[in-house]
Amino acid sequence: MSKHKEQHYAERIGWLRAAVLGANDGIVSTASLVVGVAAANAAQSEVLIAGVAGLVAGAMSMAAGEYVSVSSQADTEKADLAREQHELETAEVFEHEELTNIYINRGLEPALARQVADQLMAHDALSAHARDELGLTEIHSARPIQAALASAATFAVGAALPLLMAWFSSATVIIPIVAGGSLVWLAILGGLAAQAGGANITTGAGRVTFWGAIAMAATAAVGAIFGTVA
């Protein structure tokens, strides 16, 4: 008899969040940087240098930021588990009642709730409390290295897209080509991310495209103003 394994969207939350955030930031920040520098009447070589520097700096910043952030989450989870383990060792009766009440509040009859608590605590008390009291599961557990690598890699991939468009564009059309192409990529990314997460594709594509357009318009305005002043 074959085993049926269900796939849930929640299983993708960890890597999907980091990947989408990295790629989105890569496209938006690099495209905005390229458009802003180009709007200041810089030479194409200067635009490309700025874009490459932004790619490297952004990828490293994303990796460091994700690692620190998710590590802090992991430290908090470990501290909660350590405290829960201590409470199980020093106040087992109270912890048993606490777990029983959780199941009662979820709709079980008191006798059945106590029986469930008995069996789960006999099997693995810490896992039962981690899951049902603290809300910690393997699916949602913090993975700092995975998040850091995913963010850095996807940022670099996202940043490479506007850079390639800038590389193959002439100086006279670099702004519309990079801005327009980047908005298309953002829409595709937002749609794919929404589909992978089981959300509305149009909404996912629309929101990343909107904020990407705002970012590029703002940097283009700054570049034009300072380019005129210079």
**Cα(51)–Cα(226) distance, rounded to whole angstroms?**
18
Q: What is the DSSP letter of 140?
A: T
Would residue 7 count as lying in a domain? no
Q: What is the pLDDT of residue 4?
A: 47
* Structural domain harbouring 21: 15-223
Q: What is the DSSP letter of 106?
A: T
Q: What is the pLDDT of residue 122?
A: 79
**Cα(126)–Cα(82) distance, rounded to whole angstroms?**
9
Would residue 181 count as lying in a domain? yes
Per this entry, what is the length of the chain?
Answer: 230
Residue with tokens 């777990």: 99
Would residue 34 count as lying in a domain? yes
- What is the total count of domains within the chain? 1
Would residue 126 count as lying in a domain? yes
Would residue 5 count as lying in a domain? no
Per-residue pLDDT of the chain (230 residues; tens, 9 = 90+): 445 455 444 444 555 666 677 888 899 999 999 999 999 988 889 999 999 999 999 999 988 988 888 888 778 878 877 887 887 778 788 888 887 888 888 888 888 888 888 787 778 777 777 777 776 665 455 678 887 888 889 899 999 999 999 999 988 899 999 999 999 999 988 887 777 667 788 888 898 899 999 999 999 999 988 876 55
As a 3-state breakdown, the chain gives helix, strand, coil percent values, each rounded to 5, of: 85, 0, 15
Residues in CB range of 105: below 8 A, 6 or more apart? none
One-letter amino acid for residue 208 of the chain: V
Q: What is the pLDDT of residue 138?
A: 59
- CA neighbor of 23 nearest in space, from 196, 186, 213: 186
How is residue 226 written in tokens?
Answer: 């300072």
Would residue 88 count as lying in a domain? yes
Would residue 197 count as lying in a domain? yes
Would residue 8 count as lying in a domain? no
Strand residue runs (E) in 99-229: none
Cα-flanking dihedrals φ and ψ of residue 130, to 5°? -60, -40
